[in-house]
Amino acid sequence: MYLFHQGNLRYSYQLLGAHLMTVGGKQGVRFMVWAPNAEKISVVGMFNEWDGRRHPMEKLNDNGLWCLFIPELTKGTLYKYEILTAHGHLQLKADPYAFASELRPRTASVVHPLGAYHWNDEQWMKRREGMNVYESPLSIYELHLGSWKNIETEIYYNYRDYAEMVIPYVKELGYTHIELLPLTEHPFDRSWGYQATGYYAVTSRYGTPDDFRYFVDQCHAHGIGVILDWVPGHFCKDQHGLRRFDGEALYEYADVKKAEKPQWGTLTFDFARNEVQSFLISNAIYWLKEFHLDGLRVDAVASMLYLDFGKEDGEWEVNEYGGRENLEAVEFLKKMNEAIFDEVPHVLMMAEESTSWPLVSAPTYTGGLGFNYKWNMGWMNDMLQYMQLDPIHRKHHHHLMTFSLYYAFSENFVLPISHDEVVHGKKSLLNKMPGDYWQKFANLRLFLAYMYAHPGKKLLFMGSEFAQFDEWKDMDDLDWELLDYESHKSIFNYMKQLHQLYQEMPALWELDHEQEGFSWIDPHNTEQSILSFVRNSRSPNDQLVVVCNFTPEVYHDYKVGVPENGTYKEIFSSDAIHFGGSGQTNGLKLETTKQSWQGQDYHIHMRIPPLAVSFLKCISKSKEDTHAR
């Protein structure tokens, strides 16, 4: 209890909430809740006809912990807390630490035991300990379970069913990880889980906590990691949730200007309050420990860091130094990441941070926030803006392609094309692309290949892997019938081959976060919108040359500088016929000429396909100075 009130109890869910146990020889449930402003609290449920007079709780200390053991209650018992506020009002609240909840629209908490599931992923967990994720391939498939595939609108499959459907699909595509939109219990389907009420309860839409554990267990059995979107920045205002939990602002700031998030209609956690720190830090550790998750993607970090995020003048106040930074949130994030990596060292903590805040993915002892990855929102915005341009105009916006390399190694970046980019009128990834039918698919293949060639780990939202035409429809499942059409099936096969190339070539991931992993050949060809560069690994034999053409023009004798003398081979082309391309590939070996070009000691002559990317590899090195073409 002392540690909880100090903000240092990393496993507060083992103290608070509803726990099955034996007391005085009797089996039952011990309930504990934090509500310092309450006058009286009772546990109510079907077992006492929701009568708050029958099971009043005992107040344990002046800091507001209340406790009660009720014998004979079992797993599956429905309950809530009836709270008498200092203002004389009675209110019913779900348990903030409940491990399960009723299926919406019902809102009661459900007694569920910890530690009952038998895990079978020892091999995966041991392998994870020895993995250097920074120098490993990391390709993430982001999905929202309910709209990946459903039985019908608002009627979903069970987590176990999803395991049988999702895992083989993701495995076939070649992704290393799945990232799930939030699964904390939430009242409104269309919030996608980003406005939660039950932070410790996996949503009952898809089954029980143990059903979800099975999903993760099966992912690990098939070599797939699992990342969960997690939202410590704000919570929804539904009456049964955390808002004014004991009649006063408790989990949220008391200061309305700090508490309100008008952009989303939610409330900000009070990051300065010790008990809230224990609640949130324990929650992150809970998901990582109790569900064996491989990482958390922390949502909307910018909204936590800045007091003026999404607010107009007059809706916020400066901090004590006159700045707009939320100093308490900054310290909380550092404390949170220190605790997580102390308790669960080999996980991913990814920040969705959309500003230029420095050192997001740097350790706290160097002044960083302590995450180990940051989403590269700048790259995403620039590239999507560029790709939507008609190719005839791209030469005037060449900087949108090259600017990301000025800062690519300032953080450990993930390149994200997430759900936010293909919803709310933004169009699907395919439909963002300009041109006729063929050019749309060519542009999509070009974009995806450039993404996988660019430094940084990868994330792609579901549906893009088979070129869904419509933007994400959050209440319907994906347009799976498109896979019956050759053009869409070819994109699916393209993604399989691209992932195979990605995983087989250390140059595409081993030095993702080091300047030595990337060097330009020619970033300046604005007139033809052609880029060329080198990706390096720790072995000089794994070097790749990448040539990208962002126009529909074909060049049959294009001169490209290369770093090595010998014979080059085009090992992958996004323009290959079997991908739906025009077939302007380089089938013959490409011999170097010893003549400097584009800052390289040698050059080759090659065919440049339209709206395409070519990956070239030196397959044999020559000791001689010159070779004929």
Whether 465 is a known active-site residue: answer no
209 — phi, psi (to 5°)?
-55, -40
Q: Looking at 255-394, which runs of residues are DSSP E strands?
A: 260-261, 266-268, 295-298, 348-351, 373-375
481 — phi, psi (to 5°)?
-65, -20
- Indicate the pairing of strand 295-298 with strand 348-351: parallel
Give yes or no for a contact between 185 and 198, defined as CB atoms under 8 angstroms apart.
yes
Give yes or no for a contact between 16 and 9, defined as CB atoms under 8 angstroms apart.
no
Whether 474 is a known active-site residue: answer no
Q: Hey, what amino acid is at 510?
A: E
Give yes or no for a contact between 219 and 228, defined as CB atoms under 8 angstroms apart.
no
Q: In b/e form, how buried is each residue of 556-589, taking b as 16+ CB within 10 angstroms?
A: eebebbbbbbbbbebebbbbbeebbbbebbbeee
Residue whose entry in the numeric block shows the structure tokens 């290959």 = 576
Cα–Cα distance, 330 to 305 (Å, whole number): 6
Q: Which of 142, 210, 352, 465 is catalytic?
A: 352
Give 106's contacts (C-beta < 8 A, 6+ positions apart).
none
Burial (0-12, 13-18, 19+ Cβ within 10 Å), 57: buried
Helix, strand, coil distribution of the chain in percent, nearest 5: 30, 25, 45
* Selection from 234, 197, 230, 209 nearest residue 105 by Cα: 197
First to last CA, the chain: 77
Cα–Cα distance, 360 to 540 (Å, whole number): 31
Q: Hey, what amino acid is at 192?
A: W
Cα–Cα distance, 587 to 601 (Å, whole number): 24
Q: Which of 299, 328, 421, 564 is catalytic?
A: 299
How many CA atoms lie less than 13 Å away from 627 in the CB half-sphere?
21
Cα–Cα distance, 217 to 564 (Å, whole number): 46
Which residues carry out catalysis?
Answer: 299, 352
